[in-house]
Structure 1
Amino acid sequence: MNPLQVAKNSNKDLLQGFTHYSAEQQNRYDEIWDNVPLWSVLTDNVKLSGDQIAIKDDVREFTFKQLLAEADRIAARLLQDKLIQGDRVVLQMSNTCDFAISFFSVQRAGLVPIMALPAHGIAEIRHFIDISQAKGYICDGGKDSICIAEYLEQHSNSITHIYTAVPHTKYRSLTGIGNTPFTPPKIDPDTPAIFLVSGGTTGLPKLIPRTHNDYLFNIKSCVQASNISAKDTYLAVLPAAHNFTLGCPGILGALSLGGKVVFSNEAGPDYCFELIEQNGITATALVPALAQIWTEAAEWEEANISSLRLIQVGGSKLSYSDAIDIQHVFPNALQQVFGMAEGLIACTRIGDDPETIAAKQGCPISQWDEIRIVDSEGNQVANGEEGELLTRGPYTLRGYYRAPEHNLRSFTDDGFYRSGDKVRIDENQYISVTGRIKDIVNRSGECIATDEIEEHLLSHPEIAQVAVVPVPDKHLGERIGVALICKDESLTLQDLRRFLQTKQLASFKMPDELNIVYSLPKTAVGKIDKKKVPGPDGKPWMFHELN
């Protein structure tokens, strides 16, 4: 079989389980999509800003020309190693220049990265690979990722290539690769460019296919809504693989205009404020808990952070009082962002009045976004009334990857995505988030499916019944509460955490509180009534005052 035919077959395999836009949507969106590969955010600026610094971390920095050259060296190696256009590759990297280099090398080779977070454990990585039949795993070479690599080597039927960003005695290294003539393969911009990872609203996380066209539109629209320009220096402090940090407008948004990206694996204000002063950082994205810490620290930290003009806060709802405090300490810098890896992004705008920025989560970034707010029967409600947010648009998916049963529940017949968020919308299309319908805990911006944790805990020999619920928390947004009936009343929170660690779950899914009970409240149909599940003080956990 010739190489061209092999590539076609690989792309055909990629598209199995991928839901295309409807013909009607495709026709409408063709006029606003750019129809170029996602990697054009880099190559367009090599021509314009090639000798300017594109990325920087604690150790290294690369100009746009150097970043492209390094990415292309690795891309050539990936194809020489017999990976084929359309093959899926799990990318699990920390916040360093190696993230950007690896990301663009995979893109330039025509491979499709699955954007795993550093905190994802073997259970999640194995799940992503099982769904996608990924052939490659690229990691930074740290202790945790090498453990995952060793597991995949022994237990995965599809993984054939394992790479580390640093030299390793056992696995292929992405360093020290020589120059090889390289031409990127031709890309169909309506096919998946990346797989983002859902928060996991039911069970393990789902894979979110984002095409070259839709993700470029996402980036471009976020750039406009945030007033990002070539003069900006963006600090990537949240995980780089997260949609918020990657493309809203994030790393790719800054690079798309010839701006600079500074990577940090440290999120604390003592470290990041020094980075802001040293690099003239102008923009960053934070979750509410981190924004609160930065706001408090600004009172005593001595670094000059006056260059910071844009602080995006999202991932979970920012409280009104914290939004007021942030605006007091960082005048005119706060932008609330409400969105989802599945698509829709809404945000406040720089220049909105302080009350709007404090009280609302924002309006859609694109006039092409379609929104419905519906009641429990699916009927559209009037402006100002609470309901579930449904959305459809040129950068919102039409289906999770290879998840047909889940898609039946998650989408309407006419292609609107059921977000599971309870919201109100005003006459100016500004959204206020009021709660959730889906059963998740939003802990520091990570959406965690409660049923995934419950399923694992029920496999514990001493546990008879269990309920995992969100507990309001001032710093984390929500923490993970576990109420259970068990045979052994000496079971402790640490016992539960150690047990879940044996299940190889991500660290951010570990419970924060435990309450052992003799019975759990039930609804009229016999299901556990999570709204009434008691905390240690006997009061319903979900309605505790913020701590």
Structure 2
Amino acid sequence: MTLQHPSPLPGFTPWPEEFAQRYRQQGYWTGQTLGDMLREQARRHPERIALVCGQRRWDYAEFDRRADQLAAGFARLGIGARDRVVVQLPNVAEFFTVCFALFRLGALPVFALPAHRRTEIGHFCRFAQAKAYVIPDRDGGFDYRSLAREVGPEAPTLQHVVVLGEAEEFVALDSLYDAPRELVGPSADEVAFLQLSGGSTGLPKLIPRTHDDYLYSVRASADICGLDQDTVYLCALPVAHNFPLSSPGTLGVFHAGGRVVLARRPSPDDAFPLIEAERVTLTALVPPLAMAWLDAASSRQVDLSSLRLLQVGGAKLGAEAARRVQPVLGCRLQQVFGMAEGLVNYTRADDPEEIVFESQGRPISPADEVRVVDDDDRDVAPGETGHLLTRGPYTIRGYYLAPEHNARAFTSDGFYRTGDLVRLLPSGHLVVEGRAKDQINRGGDKVAAAEVEDHLLAHPAVHDAAVVAMPDAYLGERSCAFVIARDTPPRAMELLRFLRERGMAQYKIPDRIEFIDHFPKTGVGKVDKRALRERIAALLAQQPA
């Protein structure tokens, strides 16, 4: 495949040249693209099974061939280098053929989640100036073609809606498999795709990841986790999430030449039979799902003996739950703490048990730079809690097309302000103590309070709104919206219905609404959300268990 080296993507903040040179010289960036990685595995072991999706079993040769055929079909539609394509597919094999086809064209997937609706998808299509939008026909009882019809008129750059399944008036994905042809591919220092931030100030921001930086994270993660050709990975979380994509995730398994088994749903009813039938060795969960699996495994006769490693990340796993993993599931636990912007931390196989139970791991790379600072960016004393700052060979230097936000989210010398409050142990492991950003971590799904508040304020009966986290034994946090009404308070059900009709993802809809006469204020006159969190926690504590 012919390579091209154009100027950087407008809106992308590259690493300073001195850092880029260092990362190449030290072997972190190797010049390999994601498309090349799959090609190499298909050449090395074409007949090994790469993907299991229901009754379908694709070997590496077929996987590679389908990606080439689909790349030719996308090129026929006029999709090429740097074109943005919003990809909203569930856990199906076609997610990977679509992504690798776009990688080989140099086009940029924008990874949407199946739960996203009109508000989010419309924003992604407009902001990224997407040329195409890839969806299933239906999934989980929802018709994504109807969503495309709603979004289309609001997205002037959108030329193609590509549908897996019954396409109706749109383009059928199956019609795009053409004979492979010579294509001009990207260079490894170019942006490969755009991921979504957790978001604390409104709709998600877009995170540009290059082939070089992301593949380093994938390779290093695969090495830390001991992946090889015998690895069988169950992808139970939504496949477009950074955690199951790269930590080490599906891409790490492909890099190692192992097998990925796709689960359409992460429930024990769906996942346990797949573990038994496919002899799954590795999977990744968020804490609420890990708890559900522990409870289910305790009460069922199920063969999970092939499972060697359970990764838990996305939110903090309590130490008591962590201690149950090996006795109940019969496998080792690995805690993972990371972010789509870059830094990923793992506990290691040789860590003491208490480190595995109590910490969220230490960074992947010796080139990861970590600082823990106070509110004035001064380093805190060892062991004290502070704000986590980081930079390194796979941590971005800026969000896509967000100069004003980047000025706040990054220090002048390039450290990313993660928004996490952590303690740094003498061993280099991090203990996550909470979030400094105005965000609710609902079982791994990040909810930006500002976004929900903006939607609530659009209701004519709402004068003001403040959304905060409330404790929850299952999800870790749920959301509570405190609302000041203009006159007569509307019914809570009316507000919830209003938010759904505005096209918000279901996980962003407040779990509870409390009407209030006025908000407590800080000394500088801001809404005191800490006081609101304490208020709802006290109310919950008074309720019978």
**Shared fold (TM-score, shorter chain, > 0.5):** yes
User: Contact (CA 8 Å) 1:98, 1:140: kept in 2 or not?
Assistant: no
User: Contact (CA 8 Å) 1:484, 1:516: kept in 2 or not?
Assistant: yes
Question: 1:184: how far off?
Answer: 3.5
Question: 1:347: how far off?
Answer: 1.1
In the alignment, which residue of structure 2 is the partner of 1:109?
Answer: 105
State the distance in 1 between where 2:367 and 2:189 align.
18
Report the CA distance shift for 1:544/1:166 in structure 2 as closer, same or farther (over 3 A).
farther
In the alignment, which residue of structure 2 is the partner of 1:360?
Answer: 359
Task: Letter of the 2:99 partner, please give it.
Answer: F
State the distance in 1 between where 2:536 and 2:119 align.
34
Task: Letter of the 1:49 partner, please give it.
Answer: H
State the distance in 2 between where 1:375 and 1:535 align.
23
State the distance in 1 between where 2:24 and 2:539 align.
50
- Which deviates the most, 346-355 or 169-178? 169-178
Which of 52, 59, 63 lines up with 2:55 in the alignment?
A: 59
Report the CA distance shift for 1:544/1:44 in structure 2 as closer, same or farther (over 3 A).
farther
- How is 1:137-152 mapped onto 2 (pairs within 5 angstroms)? 137-142=133-138, 143-152=142-151
Structure 2 residue matching 1:170: 3-state secondary structure: coil
- How is 1:254-265 mapped onto 2 (pairs within 5 angstroms)? 254-265=253-264
State the distance in 2 between where 1:489 and 1:277 align.
56
In the alignment, which residue of structure 2 is the partner of 1:26?
Answer: 20
Question: 1:59: how far off?
Answer: 3.4
Question: Identity rate of aligned residues, in percent?
Answer: 40
State the distance in 2 between where 1:445 and 1:170 align.
36
State the distance in 1 between where 2:19 and 2:396 align.
12
Report the CA distance shift for 1:546/1:398 in structure 2 as closer, same or farther (over 3 A).
farther
- How is 1:199-348 mapped onto 2 (pairs within 5 angstroms)? 199-348=198-347
User: Contact (CA 8 Å) 1:237, 1:266: kept in 2 or not?
Assistant: yes
In the alignment, which residue of structure 1 is the partner of 2:70?
Answer: 74
Report the CA distance shift for 1:341/1:538 in structure 2 as closer, same or farther (over 3 A).
closer
Task: Letter of the 2:348 partner, please give it.
Answer: R
State the distance in 1 between where 2:542 and 2:253 align.
40
Report the CA distance shift for 1:534/1:546 in structure 2 as closer, same or farther (over 3 A).
farther
In the alignment, which residue of structure 2 is the partner of 1:123?
Answer: 119
User: Contact (CA 8 Å) 2:133, 2:161: kept in 1 or not?
Assistant: yes
State the distance in 1 between where 2:533 and 2:81 align.
52
Report the CA distance shift for 1:103/1:544 in structure 2 as closer, same or farther (over 3 A).
farther
Question: 1:482: how far off?
Answer: 0.9
User: Contact (CA 8 Å) 2:285, 2:310: kept in 1 or not?
Assistant: yes
Task: Letter of the 1:77 partner, please give it.
Answer: G
Task: Letter of the 1:404 partner, please give it.
Answer: P
Question: 1:472: how far off?
Answer: 1.1
State the distance in 2 between where 1:256 and 1:246 align.
12
User: Contact (CA 8 Å) 2:464, 2:484: kept in 1 or not?
Assistant: yes
User: Contact (CA 8 Å) 1:167, 1:175: kept in 2 or not?
Assistant: no
State the distance in 2 between where 1:50 and 1:298 align.
36
In the alignment, which residue of structure 1 is the partner of 2:490?
Answer: 491
User: Contact (CA 8 Å) 2:235, 2:260: kept in 1 or not?
Assistant: yes
Which of 75, 83, 99 lines up with 1:87 in the alignment?
A: 83
Task: Letter of the 1:23 partner, please give it.
Answer: E
Question: 1:165: how far off?
Answer: 1.7
State the distance in 2 between where 1:441 and 1:244 align.
18
Structure 2 stretches of 5 or more lacking a match? none
Q: Which runs of 4+ in 1 moved over 6 A?
A: 534-538, 543-547
Summarize deviations over 1:371-395 as a string: whole Å, max 9, x none: 0110111101222011100000000
Report the CA distance shift for 1:534/1:76 in structure 2 as closer, same or farther (over 3 A).
closer
Structure 2 residue matching 1:276: 3-state secondary structure: helix
- Residue 396 of structure 2 corresponds to residue 402 of structure 1: no
State the distance in 1 between where 2:236 and 2:331 align.
21
Structure 2 residue matching 1:466: 3-state secondary structure: strand
Question: 1:148: how far off?
Answer: 2.3
Question: 1:153: how far off?
Answer: 2.7
User: Contact (CA 8 Å) 2:345, 2:362: kept in 1 or not?
Assistant: yes
Structure 1 stretches of 5 or more lacking a match? none
State the distance in 2 between where 1:420 and 1:272 align.
33
User: Contact (CA 8 Å) 2:120, 2:203: kept in 1 or not?
Assistant: yes
In the alignment, which residue of structure 1 is the partner of 2:504?
Answer: 505
Report the CA distance shift for 1:357/1:474 in structure 2 as closer, same or farther (over 3 A).
same
Summarize deviations over 1:251-287 as a string: whole Å, max 9, x none: 1100111100011111111221111000001111100
User: Contact (CA 8 Å) 1:167, 1:174: kept in 2 or not?
Assistant: no
Structure 1 residue matching 2:510: 3-state secondary structure: coil
User: Contact (CA 8 Å) 1:234, 1:261: kept in 2 or not?
Assistant: yes
Structure 1 residue matching 2:465: 3-state secondary structure: strand
In the alignment, which residue of structure 2 is the partner of 1:193?
Answer: 192
Report the CA distance shift for 1:144/1:497 in structure 2 as closer, same or farther (over 3 A).
farther
Summarize deviations over 1:176-209 as a string: whole Å, max 9, x none: 5454242232312111101110011211100000
Summarize deviations over 1:296-318 as a string: whole Å, max 9, x none: 11112222011111111000111
- How is 1:384-403 mapped onto 2 (pairs within 5 angstroms)? 384-403=383-402
User: Contact (CA 8 Å) 2:38, 2:254: kept in 1 or not?
Assistant: yes
State the distance in 2 between where 1:495 and 1:277 align.
45
Q: When the two structures are superposed, what TM-score results if normalisation uses the length of structure 2? A: 0.95
Q: When the two structures are superposed, what TM-score results if normalisation uses the length of structure 1? A: 0.95
In the alignment, which residue of structure 2 is the partner of 1:38?
Answer: 34
In the alignment, which residue of structure 2 is the partner of 1:539?
Answer: 538
User: Contact (CA 8 Å) 1:442, 1:448: kept in 2 or not?
Assistant: yes
User: Contact (CA 8 Å) 1:203, 1:451: kept in 2 or not?
Assistant: yes
Report the CA distance shift for 1:82/1:538 in structure 2 as closer, same or farther (over 3 A).
closer
